[in-house]
Structure 1
Amino acid sequence: MNPLAKLMTGALVFTSTCAFALSVHAAVPESSDPIKIIDNNWSSQKVLARVAQQLLEQVGYETRLVPADSQGQFPAMGLGDLHLQMEIWEGTMAQNFDKEVKAGRMTDMGSHVATTREEWWYPNYVEEICPGLPDWKALNACAEKLAAVETAPNARYLAGPVDWIKHDQERIDALGLNVTVVNAGSAAALFGELKSAAARKEPIILFNWSPNWVGAAFPGKFIEFPEYSPECVTDPSWGINPDKTYDCGNPVGGYLKKGAWSGFEEKWSCGFELIENISFTGPMIDQAAAMVDVDGLSHSDAAAAWIKQHQQEVAEWMPACAS
């Protein structure tokens, strides 16, 4: 039975110990100022942000969700205008995040158990069109087969929204790829186009990431570019192109961290301990995203449903200061 169906029919059984986790409240929150939680534009982050929000509110804090783009969020946190981010992806965000942490303006609140990969990806049937995949060199050999009307004779690569800065054009230039980047307007548009292409078995190369629900719904593979090294993005002499950076893929097994404004611990110390304790596994994040993108729940309802389905983990995350 679908986990949501189990939830709706009351099939989940909650122990008294686990139920306690939903009723704890700090007697006097250290500050009545709202904790401003970042709300990005992809489903797993939105659900994890709301899980954190709902748990912080159960402890007794005021919270506010604040939309922010994936790069501008870091200087805003460094200034204290935003306070908490539950999904910091190494492949996309490491440089700006590390800059704020090293400057003492942000706090690294630790990694989730889940590790990440962000990369160009295709559904398995595309190998019938371009048998050389997943080797990146096949992209040029199959460029015309992977083209669209607006990109021909170049292959078409469907990237995420522009603010998900991935340096795709730099990679294309460094590796000499006959590929044209087309940006999707949102994560929903990105995967909507995948669903449409897969239904017709049309070629598609697009940005994907793990953990995510997409790989389970559409079996596929990441394209294998030259192996990532930190020097790839800073030292042109490193790698197969001696004159350009970004002649490599993204990190494999990258981190997924939580980060906060550097003043968070002093101002909301019990909440800081709660967030430090939270750690999502890859399957947990897959489930959180699928509740929205597959089962159709709102982000807030998905967060509430996720909490109800993970009472034991929630109870373990709750700090002693909240009891």
Structure 2
Amino acid sequence: MKKLVQSTGLAAILALTGSMAFAEDSTDAIKIPTHNWSSQIVGAHIVGKLLEKTGATVEYVSTDSQVVYTAACEGDVHLVHEVWEGAFGVAFQKVVDEGCVVDAATHDAKTREEWWYPSYVEEICPGLPAWDALNACAEKFATAETSPKGRFLGGPVDWLKHDAERVEALDLNFEVVNAGSAAALWAELESAAKRKEPIVLFNWTPNFIEALYEGKFVEFPEFDAKCKDDPSWGTNKDMTYDCGNPKDGYLKIAAWKEFPTKWPKAYAVLQKINFTNMDVAVQAKLADIDNMEPAQAADKWLADNESRWKAWIDPAS
């Protein structure tokens, strides 16, 4: 009887794995979101072209970078290939916990998203990169819009960086002004750098900016998960966000919960896609410096990295 049960169980497993091996992907289009920064848009097209190599049909959908997690939960988009821990970790984890989105993979890339300044600013504001040096020279960062407070130029509002909460919690004499896009951030940086004017703005790594400008991140109190929801943690016992962002944040791939069963071949490839810091920086450079259209930039990256992605789409690997 024991051998019969074991044999029956083995047969069931073989039948299951056999059906998985030969399962066909749905002919429905895989909807891939595009956001408002260059590496993500180029990377989305790289992912799309890789999935097309499995026979999938792909559709690109312009989507708010916070709303996208609700959209993925509801199956309105089917993957998010660039989940930055600092900006989107909370929204991502919420839908994973709800069971409607799966944590498909983690890239090798390590991320950091923080206040940043070009190196010459240290001569204007001694004490940097320590965060508490900012108040002593806040007026030097002031603009007509923020005077007498300094201006921190943040990313688009939908990146949800909680900069205003941090300013209040750390009692910084700064006002947050949000740029409309990544391109607007870089235009302001270029203008200030040419005139050696003080500027502190949102930046991140990996990014092509670090190849163009010497600079440093502001060093805020060390990040801890309690900083986001426990006011008693940290220097300010009454408020949250009295800390910096993670210094070695993850970059993940998220997928709609039905993705693995609806497109099993495509999902197997999705789980193997793995970008490094250099990959993400190059993807941004191809668009922002080389002025390539997303599809053209994706083709360039694929041509330069053929040996890597061929292993990703090879079922035997």
Instruction: Assess same fold via TM > 0.5.
Output: yes
Aligned to 2:110: 115
Q: Distance in 1 between matches of 2:74 and 2:282?
A: 33
Aligned to 1:172: 167
Q: Distance in 2 between matches of 1:156 and 1:141?
A: 14
User: Which structure is larger by alpha-carbon Rg, 1 or 2?
Assistant: 2
- Percent same amino acid at aligned positions? 51
Instruction: Give the secondary structure class of the aligned counterpart of 2:131.
Output: coil
Residue 148 of structure 1, CA deviation: 1.3
Instruction: Give the secondary structure class of the aligned counterpart of 1:196.
Output: helix
Query: Contact conserved, 2:24 with 2:264, CA < 8 A, in 1?
Result: no
The one-character-per-residue Cα deviations of 1:166-197 (angstroms, maximum 9, x if unpaired) are 11111011000000111111111111111111
2:292 pairs, out of 280, 284, 297, with 297
Residue 219 of structure 1, CA deviation: 1.0
Residue 66 of structure 1, CA deviation: 0.6
Instruction: Give the secondary structure class of the aligned counterpart of 1:144.
Output: helix
Q: Tell me if 1:93 matches 2:88.
A: yes
Q: Distance in 2 between matches of 1:163 and 1:102?
A: 22
Q: Distance in 1 between matches of 2:268 and 2:43?
A: 17
| 1:233/1:280 CA distance change after superposition, 3 Å | same
Q: Distance in 1 between matches of 2:73 and 2:236?
A: 35
Q: Distance in 1 between matches of 2:88 and 2:68?
A: 10
Aligned to 2:41: 46
The one-character-per-residue Cα deviations of 1:154-175 (angstroms, maximum 9, x if unpaired) are 1110001111101111101100
Query: Contact conserved, 1:270 with 1:321, CA < 8 A, in 2?
Result: no
Q: Distance in 2 between matches of 1:56 and 1:79?
A: 21
Query: Contact conserved, 1:158 with 1:206, CA < 8 A, in 2?
Result: yes
Where does 1:1-323 land on structure 2 (aligned, <5 Å)?
A: 29-320=24-315
Task: Point out where structure 2 has 5 or more consecutive residues left out of the alignment.
Answer: 1-21
The one-character-per-residue Cα deviations of 1:199-255 (angstroms, maximum 9, x if unpaired) are 111111000000000011011000000000000011000000000000000011000
Amino acid at match of 1:33: D
Give me the CA root mean square deviation: 1.5
Q: Distance in 1 between matches of 2:60 and 2:194?
A: 36
Query: Contact conserved, 1:273 with 1:319, CA < 8 A, in 2?
Result: no
Q: Distance in 1 between matches of 2:287 and 2:28?
A: 30
Residue 29 of structure 1, CA deviation: 5.0
Query: Contact conserved, 1:231 with 1:238, CA < 8 A, in 2?
Result: yes
Q: Distance in 2 between matches of 1:171 and 1:228?
A: 12
Amino acid at match of 2:86: G
Aligned to 2:7: none
Amino acid at match of 1:229: D
Aligned residues between the structures: 297
Amino acid at match of 1:35: I
The one-character-per-residue Cα deviations of 1:76-134 (angstroms, maximum 9, x if unpaired) are 11011110111000001111111111111001012100010000000001111101110
Instruction: Give the secondary structure class of the aligned counterpart of 1:253.
Output: coil
Q: Distance in 2 between matches of 1:86 and 1:48?
A: 8
Residue 321 of structure 1, CA deviation: 7.2
Amino acid at match of 1:313: R
Q: Distance in 1 between matches of 2:81 and 2:187?
A: 25
| 1:73/1:271 CA distance change after superposition, 3 Å | same
Q: Distance in 1 between matches of 2:25 and 2:251?
A: 28
Residue 319 of structure 1, CA deviation: 3.3
Query: Contact conserved, 2:33 with 2:68, CA < 8 A, in 1?
Result: yes
The one-character-per-residue Cα deviations of 1:262-293 (angstroms, maximum 9, x if unpaired) are 00000000100101001000011111110111
The one-character-per-residue Cα deviations of 1:12-54 (angstroms, maximum 9, x if unpaired) are xxxxxxxxxxxxxxx9952110000011110000011000111
TM-score (norm: length of structure 2): 0.91
